[in-house]
């Protein structure tokens, strides 16, 4: 169990159920676990200026539950920083990651005053190198991922996209196969924890088994959509995207038609009044808004 002092300091909140009971509502810390600075400025991030470096993040969540911590996404890990060559020369050259040790999930868990060993579960939307690099920093944790994603990443063909060295420590995989319940307009949704306050939501298309993560907070939900979209305009009114970022997105589509369909469903949900607040992995504007 997380210590009582730590719960009070870092914020598990109580919801009054109106029936003489109360339950603890998860608190979510919004972290940037990998700053990336590609060329192109506003053609990538949508902000003014095209001759500067763009500003992209890797938005992760540290979710405080009653008995443990749960990490959503891991960004780049300590070994990636020590051995950036394992990320691949093209990735480092094109994305210009900051490689700042203070940005690793491990360092930020400690900076928030938590024991990293309380991170018992890690959920990754997919296993691309900028999302799975920190898995090795929490080797004791169970790693939750869609079975299709695990199969694609661990297949011989996966070497063209994924960095298998990031899970060479042989984590405790928790795989989620097809099938499950319906959640809003998404099918095949499965709970990650026993009380169904954390859900794995299939959002396929960017990769073979890409999935989002939804966390219930009272009457509302927060949805981490990973790389199902790259820029907040894509789920907004105009559905647009900065041109170079859109080009990058298309380049790494596993199934473009499916990714576009997934994005359209997310856009419709975002425009509704369903009480779902969504964010993606790399949009610095969304990260600043959530913080």
Q: Which of 108, 122, 116 is nearest to 171 (CA)?
A: 122
261 half-sphere exposure, CB direction, 13 A CA radius: 10
Angstrom distances, CA of residue 240 to CA of 42, 244, 262:
13, 12, 15
pTM: 0.92
Rg (CA), the chain: 18
Cα–Cα dist 98/94, whole Å = 12
Backbone angles phi, psi at 202, to 5 degrees: -60, 125
- Is residue 87 within 8 A of residue 133, CB to CB? The reply is yes
Burial 120-158 (b: 16+ CB within 10 A, else e): bbbbbbbbbbbbbbbbbbbeebbbbbbebbbebbeeeeb
Angstrom distances, CA of residue 253 to CA of 161, 247, 249:
11, 10, 6
- Quote the distance between the C-alpha of residue 276 and its chain's center: 16
CATH superfamily ID and name for 4-290: Ribonuclease Z/Hydroxyacylglutathione hydrolase-like (3.60.15.10)
- Quick one: DSSP state of residue 75? B
CB atoms within 10 A of CB 207: 28
Q: What is the reported pLDDT for 21?
A: 39
What is the residue extent of each domain of the chain?
Answer: 4-290
Could you state, in chain order, the average pLDDT of each consecutive group of 10 residues for the chain (291 residues)? 40 40 76 98 98 98 94 98 97 97 98 98 98 98 98 97 98 96 97 89 98 95 98 93 97 98 97 95 97 87
Q: What is the reported pLDDT for 2?
A: 55
């Amino acid at each position: 169990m997380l210590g009582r002092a730590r719960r009070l300091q870092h914020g598990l909140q109580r919801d009054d159920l109106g029936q003489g009971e109360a339950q603890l509502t998860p608190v979510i810390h919004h972290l940037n676990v990998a700053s990336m600075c590609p060329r192109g400025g506003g053609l990538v991030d949508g902000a003014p200026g095209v001759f500067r470096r763009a500003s992209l993040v890797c938005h992760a969540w540290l979710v405080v539950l009653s008995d443990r911590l749960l990490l959503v996404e891991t960004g780049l890990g300590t070994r990636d920083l020590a051995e950036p060559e394992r990320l691949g020369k093209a990735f480092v050259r094109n994305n210009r990651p900051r490689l700042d040790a203070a940005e690793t999930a491990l360092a930020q868990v400690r900076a928030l005053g938590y024991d990293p060993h309380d991170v018992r579960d890690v959920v990754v939307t997919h296993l691309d190198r900028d999302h799975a690099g920190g898995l090795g920093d929490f080797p004791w944790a169970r790693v939750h991922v869609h079975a299709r994603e695990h199969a694609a990443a661990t297949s011989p063909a996966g070497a063209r996209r994924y960095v298998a060295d990031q899970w060479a420590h042989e984590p405790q995989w928790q795989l989620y196969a097809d099938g499950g319940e319906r959640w809003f307009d998404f099918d095949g949704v499965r709970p990650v924890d026993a009380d169904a306050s954390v859900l794995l939501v299939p959002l396929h298309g960017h990769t073979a088994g890409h999935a989002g993560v939804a966390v219930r907070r009272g009457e509302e939900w927060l949805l981490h959509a990973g790389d199902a979209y790259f820029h907040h305009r894509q789920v907004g009114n105009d559905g647009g995207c900065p041109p170079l970022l859109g080009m990058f997105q298309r380049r790494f589509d596993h199934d473009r038609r499916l990714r576009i369909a997934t994005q359209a469903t997310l856009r419709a949900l975002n425009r509704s009044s369903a009480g779902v607040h969504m964010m993606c992995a790399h949009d610095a504007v969304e990260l600043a808004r959530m913080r």
